[in-house]
Structure 1
């Protein structure tokens, strides 16, 4: 399968669509979903475009999309094999509908027999002068690319102490947060886009973004929806990072049930910083 051609077509099709909806935010229809996240008419339009492109490329693969309650049905099997295309039309809809914000992206991940093998992340406005940044992985053994260039690796932990450990608004700090602060880490607990934070943990976007979006040494989230985590997990594995869950168990496959309304990872942990990983995992493991 020529995945690169699909990614190229998606980039060509989606950029003008996203730009068009962003230029008409004042009249954009937006509603709140049951989990208090936002759904806009742009999400549905972009999802339809992605599905159309994927279907033209692969007529047989299963599609799991965030808003597919509007367009598709869930599979009858909990863990179907074969090819699965996981789609998040706009990750960071709250950012998308705010004119001054820019940290949102369109995301596709290809899973083959439970293993994430290719990923596409298009962030149309995080580059200089609100230009686009596109992160692509064409398949196993292939290099991660950013705007057609080899992706820079995340700096050593001694050079960056930033971590992404999102939690709900108003929730209490987790047991490991004071330890991270005491060790000189700078944990971010609010997230604009799970995917972009996972990308920033997997590769260094600094030279491609303005304002600069620096790297994270670790990303950890509990109860993560599969469309928020699959592509980031794919990129982290390709980058050779630790990928696992909150108990420290390594994860190489998408181990969620797909025959439910919102397939979720119980927890997702990716890290290049082994010290931060030990701090986060230790108290979680102790209370298991």
Structure 2
């Protein structure tokens, strides 16, 4: 069954809520969680809307959500048979709470047989004049859409060749940074929304963002939480990209992995196959 009706419903329901919170963002209390990421009332409200919409059509849905505060193993996930919904209500909360920034999004991904098959990314202010962009993916059908229109992934590098390889603020440059420069790549090193960087690896948004945000040829992260990553992997699969860990091994897809309280990929690499091969041979 197509997820398109759900994606349309979520777009309609989430946009006014996100707009309302952003209209008084300076007054919104911000909590710092144990992992040093941020939490606001908006994250909780958006997550509830998404869960309610999923359960309205699938009452017994098994859901992994960032703000579900799970402490122990997810027995419901382990016994789900591979059909699981993964939610990140606001990816890039640090961007969301800054009025002048726009690189944040709401994310939903559906797994079937433990593989990401359908994804929804709503970036409410990423388009021109802070208009919304909605990106969806149907991995088995190799179909990507942008604001409802089918799009094709970038087929060749642009004039400037970009990689997303962010590092913690204040962290020194890595050997990889120099290797990327020597190979002619430009690096994005400031962390914003991991999902949106993965979107920009699968879809060229440069023509519909202001200022223009270039597409990436490679996305690389260490210690990436599953709700920050599976939708991007779904988009990558739909776009024909390669994904693996930084040693070239497949990413974990076992029930025992998704059944952890906080599933985390040790490392995530997504990109054009030839660029992933170059990365695996480079110091990192």
Partners of 2:224 and 2:255 lie apart in 1 by 12
2:281 match = 282
Please give the root-mean-square deviation of Cα atoms over the aligned residues, in Å. Answer: 2.2
The more displaced of 165-174 and 249-258 is 249-258
CA drift at 1:239: 0.4
The 1-side partners of 2:120 and 2:153 are apart by: 18
Q: 1:155, CA displacement in angstroms?
A: 4.5
Matches within 5 A, 1:38-187: 38-69=38-69, 75-76=74-75, 79-80=78-79, 81-138=81-138, 140-157=140-157, 159-187=159-187
The verdict on how the C-alpha distance between 1:101 and 1:73 changes in structure 2, with shifts beyond 3 A counting, is same
In structure 1, what is the Cα distance between the partners aligned to 2:72 and 2:47? 14
Q: In 2, distance between residues paired with 1:241 and 1:135?
A: 16
SS at match of 2:143: coil
Q: Please report how far the alpha carbon of residue 261 of structure 1 lies from its aligned counterpart in structure 2 after TM superposition.
A: 3.0
TM-score calculated relative to the size of structure 1: 0.91
Equivalent residue number for residue 259 of structure 1? 259
Compute the displacement of 1:101 (Å).
Answer: 0.6
Question: What is residue 270 of structure 1 aligned with on the other side?
Answer: 270
* In 1, Cα distance between equivalents of 2:277 and 2:139: 30
Q: Secondary structure at the match of 1:269?
A: strand
Q: Find the aligned partners of 2:273 and 2:111 in 1 and give their Cα distance.
A: 26
In the alignment, structure 2 segments of 5+ residues that lack a partner are none
TM-score, reference length from structure 2 = 0.92
Q: Secondary structure at the match of 2:75?
A: coil
Shift of residue 30, structure 1, vs aligned partner: 1.0
Partner deviation per Cα, 1:168-200 (whole Å, 9 max, x = no partner): 222233322211111211111122100000000
Tell me, yes or no, if the aligned pair for 2:62 and 2:77 is still in contact at 8 Å.
no
Q: Which moved more, 1:143-152 or 1:165-174?
A: 165-174
Structure 2 distance, partners of 1:256, 1:232, is 21
Q: Is the 8 A contact 1:28 1:40 kept in 2?
A: yes
Q: Is the 8 A contact 1:226 1:265 kept in 2?
A: yes
Q: State the 1:36 CA deviation.
A: 1.1
Distance of aligned partners of 1:245 and 1:121 in 2 relative to their CA distance in 1, 3 Å threshold: same
* 2:6 match: secondary structure: helix
- The one-character-per-residue Cα deviations of 1:146-175 (angstroms, maximum 9, x if unpaired) are 001112422513644100011222223332
Work out the number of aligned pairs and report it: 283
Contact 2:138–2:238 (8 Å) recurs in 1: no
Partner of 2:4: 4
Q: Is the 8 A contact 1:256 1:265 kept in 2?
A: no
Question: Is 196-205 or 140-149 further displaced after alignment?
Answer: 140-149
